[in-house]
A and B are shown apart, each in its own frame.
Chain A
Amino acid sequence: MAAFDHVRNMYDVALKPRLLRSLIKEHIPDEKQQLRNPLELSHVVSAIKTHELLSERVVPSADNKKLIEKWKSAVDLWVDRLLMLVCSNMPDKCWAGICLLGMTCEECSSERFLASYSVWFQKLLSHLQPPAESHFVKAACCVSISDLLTRLGGFPNMKKDGASHAAKLLQPVLKLMHEDSSDAEGAVPLLCTILNFFPSSVQKNYDSAEAAIVTKLMSGKCNANMLKKLALCLSLLPKSRGDEDSWSLMMQKILLAINLLLNDSLQGLEEETTTNEAMRALVPPGKEPPPPLGGLTILDISNKATRPERLFMPSISALMLCCSTMLRTSYPVQIKVPVRSLLMLAGRVLMVDGSLPHTLYPIMTAMQQECICTELPVQHSYSLEILCGIVKEARSQLFPHAAHIVRLVTEYFRRCALPELRIKVYALIKLMLMSMGVGITMYLAEDVVSNASVDLDSVGHHGGEACSNPVLKTSEAVPQPMQKKRKHDMTITSFGNQPQTSSLHKNHTPISVKIAALEALETLLTVGGALRSERWRSNVDVLLITVSTDACKGGWTKQANNVYTLHDSSSSWADFQLASLRALLASLLSPGRIRPPYLAQGLELFHRGMQETGTKVAEFCAHALLTLEVLIHPRALPLIDIASSIDYPVNGVKDSFMDNNTYSGAQKHHLYSGGTSRNGLEYPESEEDDLYEKWVKDVDGSNAPEIQQEKNTVEKTSTPAEPLVSFEGPSGSKVPEEKGKGILVEEINKQSDIPSQTADHHASDMETEMTAAKDASGGDLETATGRSFVTVVGSEGGKEFMFALGVDDKLMDEIPDIVDVEPDSDED
């Protein structure tokens, strides 16, 4: 009869008790059977999880009563069988029982859990006290108890009970921690769970727990994962006392220990004054130093006799990790973060680069130096993490210290040469920009831009292309005569303050660093793209369009099938493309002094990207197009009128030209890049302010409705011009015309304000360019020339007009650049 007693479907509740019974029968061994393949257990567990076989969740009703009974008895059977396994003297069966019991704690109904958790707890505890033989059993036991406590912690009215249970665990757990590392691996997370859910149970054993954790931390025998867990454990420890002071005390102890160790190990690498200053800040004269960390006296910590010297540096790293973890952990009470001491520590470590002072007789062997240099990157990394933690937690309270941090970070950034650390610095800068707002962009912008420019420099080399970056440093000789131009242009835009880093990073910056640089630029543009950005903004815009064009040139990488690279967190080319597009969007959206000059190219990139359906790039491109739509079709008239002054025409032409004729254009466009970006910088202000004055005057009602009229017409004709220009496809007639104009404008620029030492160079090169262009464009050039000259005259007129209005002399200096605008706005 039972053979044909079908259930309705796979959702039928009646299926669950039956399924559970058959699982028990087939896979869970009883007293006599052996545990067969352990793989079977994982099938059992996943079946239980998917079908919620232990939940006993049935809608109570009259006809369900029998079913409830049935299910209850099935779960009873399950639990009985598990308890039998847990008590089994066969280690493998015992292990299976412990694991399954832990899973049961998570899966079973609340009523059942509350009714029987203390029995289960006792059973599990019996394997820790006295400890079982097998490591597997001990590890599984720790995990299962941890799950049991986690579940128990979810019931707010069970806190007291839970705490008394957890207190029983402490001795065995601390004992396990003293044993070799594979045992501690299970014990440490368990201690974390206890501290998270039942902190008060540790109160009595506070000192011994601290000692156990610190000893383990400083032993130098833990792997990175274990260190993190230990640090977390230590940072959770102050919770058990639950007052403000214990956190501060712990922090002070750790800082003191670190600085003591640093005093010893950095001896000879830093100034004596630094050492003294650091110690004085921690323990102000006349105050009692705190008790030593973990009961280890200073002698214990830095005793060269008992502790080999090479252990110093890893210990310092471990303790620094504790600092940053303590900043990140949340506490139920208000905590007082000693910002100054932490900053001092971070600064102290970051400023050491392993170089010996020249003047002194070396007091350290090469071996010692080697040992320190090996560990320094780790400590730098943790220092940066501490800084991140401070910035993240203290937020607005950091203003009194912000200048100090900025100086520290920029100074370090200048020297930092390891990819991993640079990524961290970029992340820190990103965090600072986000949390401290507009004010800090004025401090950081220049450094971010110069560093990012250097890091993004070598992008073009990925596809085997010549680099087309305008901020390229060309310190070495360039074979082609054409590229001498570029050299000149570079010197105008480049940031001359760090030739060393540029040569260091030349051409093989890892992708992950580039991504970090792009992200930092994106954040910079998002937060402060418009405020006091004249000096760097146009450079960044050029850089970003170049980088993203280059990144997307070779098509889109498919998302790698990451079955094999699951643990590999390294960044892929696809991530780089995405990051470059994100930064490009920020550059287009962040309002500058002028309309975004590369809107057309950007739109084209996003359009192409959107067609790669199913990738992250496509998702982002769709989002980008949606946001840009508002820019193209503004919903309301903007208060700030940027439409009337379109800039970067030469750049626009250049880049479209490059897109269309990559075979020959790549070199030519170097001609213009530097000069134009500088133009973009200076020019708009002049016309812009002029317009403001006019507008404001107009609004005041003092005169001239015609001027208003004039402004309107300018605006109307020029607003749609940019987005409508199509750069797609190499059009036969248009491109040469543009080229001609570009050169012409360039030449006018050069005549007006190129530094004299390079002018000759240019004149000759320019001439060859001109003739080449003439050959290519023929008659079109004539018309272009004519038109440009007309506009130059027009701008002269404008100058006079501005005089009439009484514009500052300062503005007048920049007038010659005004010619830039005309070719493009005329064009349509």
Chain B
Amino acid sequence: MEDEVVIASSSTEAGIGCWDLRSGAEHLRYRSCASPSHGLVSVAGRFLASSQLRDSSSSSGSVLCWSWNKPQIEVKSFPAEAINPLACNSDGTYIVGGGVSGDIYLWEVATGRLLKKWHGHYRAVTCLVFSDDQSLLISGAEDGSVRVWSLLMIFDEERQQRAGHLYEYSFSEHALPVTDIVTGYGGCNAIIISASQDRTCKVWSLARGTLLRNIVFPSMIDAIALDPGEHVFYAGGRDGKIYIAELNAQGTSNNNYGLHIIGTLSDQGKGICSLAFALDGSQLVAGSEDGMVRVWDTKTHNIIRVFRHAKGPVNNVLVIRQPPALYPRTSANNQASVARRHVPLPPPLEKYTSIDEHSDLNAFITPQPNCDKLYDATYTTFHSMNNQINELQQHGSSGASELEMERLKLDCKRSMQMVEQWKKMYENLHQFCVGELLNGEADDANLTLTS
């Protein structure tokens, strides 16, 4: 199983905590970070980015970036206004930020360029989420609206003019500011759950753009987490309870909490500010107002682990796969060697857009991490040899006949030599015989003469 890390930040200046989920060991603490709710993202596991709470005096906002292996801030950007929520698509190509004025900003990570900025809501944006196939963006705001944007549409001015509005859906059923949004699996059939200060969570259908279910809670809900199997979702209330609300059953109202709420996880702690699921789908990580991060086992309803983060409320928790850079360098495994290759962080995010119609938008293709190992060692001798043998069998090709000719030439040469040899031998024999004959005759003559 892959190691996972829990990352948490707080609205007070307590840095970003980072713990191993399984062992509980704390990794680096990244310094000087005071983030708003939903302001902390891991950009495709490559680095951490967080928007910052700023005193109202400064006009621009700030977004800070940390690389995994250094506690200090590495890149600082100053967008045109204070940014609340940040979101990043799974490829890590875009960072989206929601401003306090209701504007939504979309930056390209590789170049830091501000690709688009549009007016999304009437009041400050509070949360931003990408749909599971990364083609839609869902935003919630203080004015209580939840809007669904298609990234394609955002970039397509021609179509925008025809449609008259940018968003795909705008849900305005919430009466008070939206506090959290989650979305599930299923592409266009996914559901969206939004929580609001009006003490309700609402379940929306992405495909139909309709409200499917409205659940009233006893307390304000600040954070929600969707069970990966999507049979329930967890809603963290300001009263310190994590309510479990079911999604796939008929509601029964014969319990203490209300329709569709089937139970709670509670340890008499303070209000829940953030929730996240571990990859195994059973451990639920909750950040609390008292500065603690608790890990619940949703099967047994017990707390398995507690991390102490800060004095102030923990308003962001993330659970991600352990980035290679966090593996200890001593270990000789492959991941460590990848980590040693230092990847520089991308440039800061632009304040104003520098894109005009002539600027060349390039796509950046990052190499596969183990690119060297990807070549299949394909051996071809066997194949090519069989091909050549086939050719030889057919005697058809020029190559084959040429080869044959070479061989024949040499054969011929050898035969010529042989012939020469035979000739010579014949010659010798002939001479010998003649000699014999002549000598013999002479002898005979001698004999006759002597006899």
A219 to chain B, nearest CB (A): 20
Q: Are A332 and B367 in contact (CB under 8 A)?
A: yes
Q: Are B402 and A528 in contact (CB under 8 A)?
A: no
**Segment among B139-147, B242-250, B318-326, B432-440 that sits at the interface with chain A:** B242-250
User: Given that A197-B375, A437-B136 are contacting pairs, would A339 and B406 also be in contact in the complex, using a CB cutoff of 8 Å?
Assistant: no
Q: Are A92 and B403 in contact (CB under 8 A)?
A: yes
B100 to chain A, nearest CB (A): 25
Tell which of B249, B361, B388 touches A636, judged by Cβ atoms closer than 8 Å.
B249
**B56: Cβ under 8 A from any A Cβ:** no
B188 to chain A, nearest CB (A): 4
Docked Cα-Cα span, A39 to B387, in Å, equals: 11
Q: Are B384 and A335 in contact (CB under 8 A)?
A: no
A336: nearest chain-B partner, CB-CB = B362
Docked Cα-Cα span, A637 to B213, in Å, equals: 13
Q: Are A528 and B188 in contact (CB under 8 A)?
A: yes
Q: Are B152 and A102 in contact (CB under 8 A)?
A: no
In the complex, which residues 198-236 of chain B have their Cβ closer than 8 Å to any Cβ of chain A?
A: 203, 205-208, 210-216, 231
In the complex, which residues 271-317 of chain A have their Cβ closer than 8 Å to any Cβ of chain B?
A: 281, 284
Q: Are A139 and B399 in contact (CB under 8 A)?
A: yes
Docked Cα-Cα span, A338 to B359, in Å, equals: 11
Docked Cα-Cα span, A438 to B399, in Å, equals: 56
Residue in B159, B362, B402 with the greatest tally of chain A CB atoms within 10 Å: B362
**Segment among A150-158, A595-603, A766-774, A809-817 that sits at the interface with chain B:** A150-158
**Segment among B67-75, B87-95, B282-290, B302-310 that sits at the interface with chain A:** B87-95
Q: Are A134 and B399 in contact (CB under 8 A)?
A: yes
**B312: Cβ under 8 A from any A Cβ:** no
Docked Cα-Cα span, A339 to B135, in Å, equals: 19
**B161: Cβ under 8 A from any A Cβ:** no
Chain A residues closer than 8 Å to B189, beta-carbon distance: 530, 590-591
Q: Are A136 and B400 in contact (CB under 8 A)?
A: yes
Q: Are A527 and B187 in contact (CB under 8 A)?
A: yes
**Segment among A345-353, A542-550, A692-700 that sits at the interface with chain B:** A692-700
A641: nearest chain-B partner, CB-CB = B212
**B449: Cβ under 8 A from any A Cβ:** no
Q: Are A147 and B399 in contact (CB under 8 A)?
A: no
B202 to chain A, nearest CB (A): 9
B151: nearest chain-A partner, CB-CB = A399
**A447: Cβ under 8 A from any B Cβ:** no
Q: Are A393 and B249 in contact (CB under 8 A)?
A: no
Chain A residues closer than 8 Å to B150, beta-carbon distance: 438-439, 442
Q: Are B135 and A338 in contact (CB under 8 A)?
A: no
Residue in B211, B213, B260, B382 with the greatest tally of chain A CB atoms within 10 Å: B382
Q: Are A443 and B152 in contact (CB under 8 A)?
A: yes
Q: Are A591 and B378 in contact (CB under 8 A)?
A: no
Q: Are A438 and B187 in contact (CB under 8 A)?
A: yes
Chain B residues closer than 8 Å to A402, beta-carbon distance: 152, 155-156
Tell which of A42, A689, A700 touches B389, judged by Cβ atoms closer than 8 Å.
A42
In the complex, which residues 309-364 of chain A have their Cβ closer than 8 Å to any Cβ of chain B?
A: 330-341
Docked Cα-Cα span, A134 to B408, in Å, equals: 14
Q: Count of A-B contacts with CB under 8 A? A: 240
Docked Cα-Cα span, A406 to B372, in Å, equals: 35
Docked Cα-Cα span, A740 to B381, in Å, equals: 72
Q: Are A696 and B158 in contact (CB under 8 A)?
A: no
**A106: Cβ under 8 A from any B Cβ:** yes
Docked Cα-Cα span, A99 to B388, in Å, equals: 10
Q: Are A339 and B362 in contact (CB under 8 A)?
A: yes
Chain B residues closer than 8 Å to A437, beta-carbon distance: 131, 133-136, 187
Chain B residues closer than 8 Å to A403, beta-carbon distance: 152, 155-156, 158-159
User: Given that A135-B402, A394-B365, A437-B134 are contacting pairs, would A41 and B385 also be in contact in the complex, using a CB cutoff of 8 Å?
Assistant: yes
Chain A interface, >50% SS class: helix
User: Given that A135-B398, A636-B249 are contacting pairs, would A530 and B377 also be in contact in the complex, using a CB cutoff of 8 Å?
Assistant: no
Chain A residues closer than 8 Å to B215, beta-carbon distance: 699
Range of interface residues on chain A? 35 or more
Docked Cα-Cα span, A209 to B191, in Å, equals: 56
A701: nearest chain-B partner, CB-CB = B259
Docked Cα-Cα span, A529 to B189, in Å, equals: 9
Q: Are B135 and A189 in contact (CB under 8 A)?
A: no
Chain B residues closer than 8 Å to A398, beta-carbon distance: 363
Tell which of B133, B248, B366, B410 touches A438, judged by Cβ atoms closer than 8 Å.
B133
**B251: Cβ under 8 A from any A Cβ:** yes
Instruction: Map CB proximity to A onto B381-416 as digits: 1 under 8 Å, 0 otherwise.
Output: 110111011001100001110111011001000000
Docked Cα-Cα span, A591 to B365, in Å, equals: 35
Q: Are A395 and B384 in contact (CB under 8 A)?
A: no
**B368: Cβ under 8 A from any A Cβ:** yes
Docked Cα-Cα span, A529 to B136, in Å, equals: 16
Q: Are A106 and B379 in contact (CB under 8 A)?
A: yes
User: Given that A140-B388, A330-B368, A334-B366 are contacting pairs, would A103 and B381 also be in contact in the complex, using a CB cutoff of 8 Å?
Assistant: yes
Q: Are B251 and A337 in contact (CB under 8 A)?
A: no
Docked Cα-Cα span, A399 to B106, in Å, equals: 12
Tell which of A189, A281, A396 touches B89, judged by Cβ atoms closer than 8 Å.
A396
User: Given that A144-B381, A700-B214 are contacting pairs, would A531 and B389 also be in contact in the complex, using a CB cutoff of 8 Å?
Assistant: no
Docked Cα-Cα span, A632 to B22, in Å, equals: 40
Chain A residues closer than 8 Å to B398, beta-carbon distance: 135, 182
Chain A residues closer than 8 Å to B406, beta-carbon distance: 90-92, 133-134
Tell which of A182, A336, A639 touches B212, judged by Cβ atoms closer than 8 Å.
A639
Q: Are B91 and A438 in contact (CB under 8 A)?
A: no
A41: nearest chain-B partner, CB-CB = B389
Q: Are B375 and A638 in contact (CB under 8 A)?
A: no
Docked Cα-Cα span, A102 to B367, in Å, equals: 32
Docked Cα-Cα span, A89 to B414, in Å, equals: 13
Q: Are B385 and A42 in contact (CB under 8 A)?
A: yes
Chain B residues closer than 8 Å to A700, beta-carbon distance: 214, 216
User: Given that A42-B385, A332-B372 are contacting pairs, would A146 and B407 also be in contact in the complex, using a CB cutoff of 8 Å?
Assistant: no
Q: Are B377 and A153 in contact (CB under 8 A)?
A: yes
Docked Cα-Cα span, A774 to B407, in Å, equals: 90
**A400: Cβ under 8 A from any B Cβ:** yes
Docked Cα-Cα span, A9 to B375, in Å, equals: 37
Q: Are A696 and B159 in contact (CB under 8 A)?
A: no
**A390: Cβ under 8 A from any B Cβ:** yes
Residue in B207, B367, B381, B393 with the greatest tally of chain A CB atoms within 10 Å: B381
Q: Are B363 and A397 in contact (CB under 8 A)?
A: yes
Residue in A339, A403, A440 with the greatest tally of chain B CB atoms within 10 Å: A403
**A196: Cβ under 8 A from any B Cβ:** yes
B391: nearest chain-A partner, CB-CB = A136
Tell which of A134, A143, A333, A394 touches B402, judged by Cβ atoms closer than 8 Å.
A134
Q: Are A336 and B187 in contact (CB under 8 A)?
A: no
Q: Are B386 and A42 in contact (CB under 8 A)?
A: yes
Q: Are A95 and B403 in contact (CB under 8 A)?
A: yes
Instruction: Map CB proximity to A onto B250-262 as digits: 1 under 8 Å, 0 otherwise.
Output: 1101000001100
**B115: Cβ under 8 A from any A Cβ:** yes
Tell which of A137, A151, A439, A591 touches B135, judged by Cβ atoms closer than 8 Å.
A439
Docked Cα-Cα span, A38 to B134, in Å, equals: 59
**B1: Cβ under 8 A from any A Cβ:** no
B191: nearest chain-A partner, CB-CB = A639
User: Given that A402-B152, A639-B203 are contacting pairs, would A396 and B381 also be in contact in the complex, using a CB cutoff of 8 Å?
Assistant: no
Q: Are B382 and A636 in contact (CB under 8 A)?
A: no
Tell which of B259, B382, B404 touches A699, judged by Cβ atoms closer than 8 Å.
B259
Chain B residues closer than 8 Å to A689, beta-carbon distance: 210
**B451: Cβ under 8 A from any A Cβ:** no
Knowing that A147-B381, A439-B136, A530-B207 are A-B contacts, what are 12 other residue pairs whose CB atoms are under 8 Å apart, sorted by A's residue number?
A39-B389, A182-B398, A281-B360, A336-B363, A395-B91, A399-B94, A400-B361, A402-B152, A438-B188, A440-B152, A443-B152, A528-B187
A residues with CB within 8 A of B:
38-39, 41-42, 45, 49, 89-92, 95, 99, 102-103, 105-106, 133-137, 139-140, 143-144, 146-147, 150-151, 153-154, 182, 189, 196-197, 281, 284, 330-341, 390, 393-403, 406, 436-443, 526-531, 590-591, 593, 636-640, 689, 692, 696, 699-701
**Can you spell out 17 A-B residue pairs with CB atoms less than 8 angstroms apart?**
A42-B389, A95-B388, A102-B379, A140-B384, A143-B380, A143-B381, A150-B378, A335-B364, A339-B361, A341-B360, A394-B363, A438-B187, A442-B152, A529-B188, A639-B248, A700-B214, A701-B253
